A and B are shown apart, each in its own frame.
Chain A
Amino acid sequence: MNNDQTQPLEYSTEQNNLNILGFWIFIGAEIMLFATLFASYFLLENRTGGGPAGEEIFTISPVMLETFILLTSSFTIGLGVHAMRLGRQKAMQVFFTVTLLLGLAFIGLEIYEFTHYVHEGAALQTSGFTSILLTTLGTHGAHVTFGLFWGLFILIQIKKRGLTPETTNKSFIFSLYWHFLDVVWIFIFSFVYLKGMM
């Protein structure tokens, strides 16, 4: 493979370019996936059947904390990619580890939030509203969980193989994924929680 020295390492080979483009297209598909979930959410939002409505179960503090944690993790992964471009492997590993730990904290909080909902009588089977609420949040949460494992595997590779065109390419794509999940969360925060609590 001919390496293009003028580009950052993650863009340096043809296959790397293809991978990044392919991942952007995949994000396009993911946008449609979440858009469909949001559209369904808006249609089912007020169809609470016999169960509770959004304002009865949403509490602001865990949600604010989740938002803060996820936004911070997006920032730290940005720092990680910056360190990667400067070739500072150690710093990059630290930032990626911090990102993953924040992600883990986010998931922990989300699990706490879900058990809280179930205690409030808002389980998956309660009503059209709770079904779509927990499915939308759950889809995002599942993406984050998947990201935790993915990130872990990338960290292992960076540690073993150093910063090569392959590993930097994977790390960069992973950072795109992580930022995307952050954006989705901002939509969830605004259109599910804030709208629901108002």
Chain B
Amino acid sequence: MKMKWAFLTIVFTAFSILSGCDLLVLDPKGPQAETQADVIKLSIGIMSVIVVVVFAILIYILVKYRASKQPDDYEPPHIEGNPIVETIIVAVPILIVTFLSIVSVQSNYAVESAPTGYEEKEPLVIYASSSNWKWHFSYPEQDIETVNYLYIPTDRPLEFRLYSYGPITSFWIPQLGGQKYAMADMITTLHLAADVPGEYMGRNANFSGKGFAKNTFNVKAVSQDDFDEWVDEVKETADPITEERFDELLEPGHLGQLTFNGTHLDFMPPPMKHGSSMEEGDHEEMNME
């Protein structure tokens, strides 16, 4: 008795909190995050129904068939099983899983391609590389580089190319979309876009050692004009990045936010998209696919 109320209260409070407040993941600011938030809300809905059904059956049975409510001489029957009942408990989950599979496949293809509504526009390519415990963002188009903060234009698709100078990390801006790994020997691609200007939290989500907790970065989404203005300002004021300077940056530690003219891509090319790192020569091909 106590138990069911305890559970129901907890479940319902949990759901009312979920729907009522602005948790980052459920407060999307871009098309990819929105797709994901929709999938999450839909699955929470379906799953709540399943949970409620199971709870209802359990409570009903516990109330009805408690030994204390039955005559002493009641002897429960021997029931092997029932083909109809068993078909139902197989078929209904299969239907639910099939439906969710379709949603899952569709949404996965959606978040892996150019964001909806942005298909026509040329994406802004940003190389995001991690080193212990910082993020380096290179803008080849603008020929500038930042550390631990991102400036992005709204209304333009973003194509992040991720790799790591060390442990596996995971690039994540919850309000713009889900995460993806950055690894040492291959580039992964993440498609995002920001619909509205604002400041968003970004971080490495994959444990990478001592400084992991503070391995975060700031994302500032601004209009295209403001973005261009920022680029011009950087080009006028920032120091150029050199190989020695970049090697210093790679040393383990936290750095705060830095801005540079030029990118490290010129002297330290990223790993191949589906191959091994450039330093080892490009004669080899990787057969993992």
A–B interface present (Cβ within 8 A): yes
- Segment 18-72 of A: residues with Cβ below 8 Å from B: 42-43, 45-50
**CB–CB A43/B288 < 8 A:** yes
A49:B285 contact, CB within 8 angstroms: no
Task: Please give me the residue from chain A that is nearest to B276 by CB atom.
Answer: A47
The answer to whether B280 and A50 have CB atoms under 8 Å apart is yes
Q: How many Å from the CB of B272 to the closest CB on chain A?
A: 13
Cα distance A47–B274 in the bound complex, in angstroms: 12
Docked pose: A164 CA to B37 CA in angstroms:
71
Tell me the complex Cα distance, A46–B274, Å: 13
B233 within 8 Å of A by Cβ?
no
Residues from chain B with a CB closer than 8 A to the CB of A47 are 276, 284, 286
Q: How many residues of B contact A (CB 8 A)?
A: 8
B287 sits at the interface (CB 8 A): yes
Q: In the bound complex, what is the Cα–Cα distance between A183 and B285 (angstroms)?
A: 31
Query: CB within 8 A of A43: which of B284, B285, B287?
Result: B287
Q: For the complex, what is the distance from the CA of A43 to the CA of B276, rounded to whole Å?
A: 13
Contact, CB under 8 Å: B284 / A48:
yes
CA distance A43 to B287 in the complex (A): 7
Expressed in whole angstroms, the Cα–Cα distance for A120 and B281 within the complex equals 20
Q: Which residue, of A45, A47, A48, A49, has the highest number of chain B Cβ atoms within 10 A?
A: A47
Whether A46 and B280, one on each chain, are in contact in the complex, defined by CB atoms closer than 8 angstroms, is: no
* Distance in Å: Cβ of A158 to nearest Cβ of chain B: 48
Q: Is the CB of A45 within 8 A of B287?
A: yes
The residue in chain A whose Cβ has the minimal distance to the Cβ of B280 is A49
Q: Roughly how many angstroms separate A154 CA and B47 CA in the complex, as a whole number?
A: 61
Instruction: Determine the distance from Cα of A42 to Cα of B285 in the docked complex, in whole angstroms.
Output: 13
Q: Return the CB mask of B252-289 against A: 1 if under 8 Å, else 0.
A: 00000000000000000000000010001100111110
CA distance A174 to B91 in the complex (A): 49
Residues of the A chain whose Cβ atoms lie less than 8 Å from the Cβ of B288:
43
**Complex-state Cα separation, A43 to B186, whole angstroms:** 15
Which residues on B sit within 8 Å (CB–CB) of A50?
280-281
In the complex, which residues of chain B have a beta carbon less than 8 angstroms from the beta carbon of A46?
284-287
Query: Could you give, for residues 18-46 of chain B, a 1 whenever the CB lies within 8 Å of some chain A CB and a 0 otherwise?
Result: 00000000000000000000000000000
| Distance to closest chain A CB from B172 (angstroms) | 27
Q: Mark B217-240, 1 if CB is under 8 A from A, else 0.
A: 000000000000000000000000
Residues of A within 8 A of B281 (CB): 50
Bound together, the chains give a CA A89 to CA B285 distance in angstroms of: 56
- Closest residue on chain A to residue B284 by CB atoms: A46
Which B residues contact A (CB, under 8 angstroms)? 276, 280-281, 284-288
Q: 14 additional contacts, CB 8 Å, given A45-B287, A48-B284?
A: A42-B287, A43-B287, A43-B288, A46-B284, A46-B285, A46-B286, A46-B287, A47-B276, A47-B284, A47-B286, A49-B276, A49-B280, A50-B280, A50-B281
Question: Can you show 12 pairs from A to B with CB atoms below 8 A apart?
Answer: A43-B287, A43-B288, A45-B287, A46-B284, A46-B285, A46-B287, A47-B276, A47-B284, A47-B286, A48-B284, A49-B276, A50-B281
Nearest first, the 10 closest Cβ-Cβ pairs linking A and B are: A46-B287, A49-B280, A43-B288, A46-B284, A46-B285, A47-B276, A48-B284, A50-B280, A46-B286, A47-B286
